[in-house]
Amino acid sequence: MSSQFFALGLGIGTQNTEGEWLEVFYSNPIINPEKAVIDAILESTSYTEGNDTIVLDESDLNRLHMSLLKAGNIEQAELASRLKASTQPVILCLLSNDVAPSNPAEVYLKLQLISHRVIKPHSTNLTGMFGLLINTAWTSDGPIDVRELADRQLSARMEGRTIEIFSVDKFPKMANFVVPSGVRIGNAARIRLGAHLGEGTTVMHEGFCNFNAGTLGNSMIEGRISAGVVIGEGSDLGAGCSTMGTLSGGGEIIIGVGEKCLVGANAGIGIGLGDRCTVEAGLYITAGQKVLVRDENRNEVATVKARELSGKSDLLFIRNSETGAVECRTNKSAVSLNEELHANN
Ligand SMILES: CC(C)(COP(=O)(O)OP(=O)(O)OC[C@H]1O[C@@H](n2cnc3c(N)ncnc32)[C@H](O)[C@@H]1OP(=O)(O)O)[C@@H](O)C(=O)NCCC(=O)NCCS
């Protein structure tokens, strides 16, 4: 058996009435658990090999607690001990390899590894995850399989209660699972589980962050971070701006934004940006657009498709208000613009 394992999570799960898993909450997921931890799991649980999800009862947790203590992993040992008191099913999810997930417990483990900042977006295999998850109502009574919702609502009303529905989706907002350190979030509903918010990130009310996407550090996010998009340290997304996703229609390029960039209010990008780039407010750059490139003295250099400028640094994109042409200039004011915006972070 390989001594290098990918990830491990001890969590609390929720099932529907058929016993299918709707979600799993992992308070402290880890990657690359040391060999002693794997040996502790081997000696105290029914785990044998590969990627496995095991439901643990109180005596399993007791044995696991003792074995983890012996292995010297105090944090996970204390978690195992604490979970003995859980009235909800306790799950151990152990991934020997980072292959495509095969059940909801694995999907939730991977999404939480990202949101806990244990791994970065794009660094785990999430292929086929949506097909494994059950559409769920996220409610004041907890997660409810949407097919069972009407029945639960009737029961609640008969007790004089209303079940509040926060969302109906395959997975819910990040903040119900983890709030990473050093972030401010105007509206928690707009950050999906699986988002990666770097230390120093502020997401204002209009900002949005999808799964397997996010920021790496200090950022002011007032626009949309689509699935897969990663925003570098010190970059800002202006109010209502958009980063183009790849999930439906259009480009195949996964958009990335480098460091110290500013995507202006109501602007949008369908190409990646390098470092210190600015996109004028209101300008949407799509990959096939023809862009007039000017040098530092604003002399015309060439006309290229925007995708050829993808990922390049020190660029300023504007729509020339006199000619209507999209232009790319050398960006001279990137740093000062960003410094101002970060002053209140
Ligand atoms: C594109 C942008 C960065 C330019 O700002 P700037 O660097 O301060 O540039 P200035 O407005 O000083 O303009 C510099 C020159 O370019 C010209 N210029 C600027 N925008 C132009 C345009 N769209 N078309 C033609 N010329 C333009 C100016 O007239 C000026 O010309 P000059 O040197 O001959 O006087 C700015 O207009 C912008 O869109 N910022 C985004 C801010 C934002 O949305 N923040 C997020 C808030 S939530």
Distance 28 CA to ligand 1 centre (A): 46
Is 300 marked active-site?
Answer: no
Tokens linked to 77: 């040992």
Find the angle CA(14)-CA(18)-CA(23) to the nearest 5 degrees.
25
Distance 280 CA to ligand 1 centre (A): 7
Q: Give the residue carrying structure tokens 């308070």.
A: 27
**Domain limits, CATH 3.30.70.2010, in the chain:** 7-127
Going by alpha carbons, the residue nearest to atom 27 of ligand 1 is 320
Question: What's the pTM value of the predicted model, to 2 decimals?
Answer: 0.93
CATH code of the domain made up of 7-127: 3.30.70.2010
- Domain 174-342: which CATH class? mainly beta
Q: How far apart are CA 324 and CA 166, in angstroms?
A: 43
**Ligand 1 site, residue 222, Cβ cutoff 6 A:** yes
**Domain limits, CATH 2.160.10.10, in the chain:** 174-342
Q: Give the residue carrying structure tokens 């999404």.
A: 111
Q: What is the DSSP letter of 294?
A: E
Which 3-state string (H, E, C) describes 307-322? HHHCCCCCEEEEECCC
The sign one gets for the Cα dihedral 116, 118, 120, 121 is: negative
CATH code of the domain made up of 137-169: 3.30.60.70
Ligand 1 atom with the shortest distance to the CA of 278: 3
Going by alpha carbons, the residue nearest to atom 42 of ligand 1 is 264
Q: How far apart are CA 7 and CA 37, in angstroms?
A: 11
Q: How far apart are CA 315 and CA 251, in angstroms?
A: 21
pLDDT tens string, the chain, 345 residues long: the values are 556 899 999 999 999 999 999 999 999 999 999 999 999 999 999 998 899 999 999 999 999 999 999 999 999 999 999 999 999 999 999 999 999 999 999 999 999 999 999 999 999 999 999 999 999 999 999 999 999 999 999 999 999 999 999 999 999 999 999 999 999 999 999 999 999 999 999 999 999 999 999 999 999 999 999 999 999 999 999 999 999 876 545 556 678 999 999 999 999 999 999 999 999 999 999 999 999 999 988 999 999 999 999 999 999 999 999 999 999 999 877 655 555 545 544
Ligand 1 atom with the shortest distance to the CA of 320: 24
Among 23, 106, 222, 259, the active-site one is: 222
Nearest 5°: phi and psi at 295? -85, -175
**Ligand 1 site, residue 321, Cβ cutoff 6 A:** yes
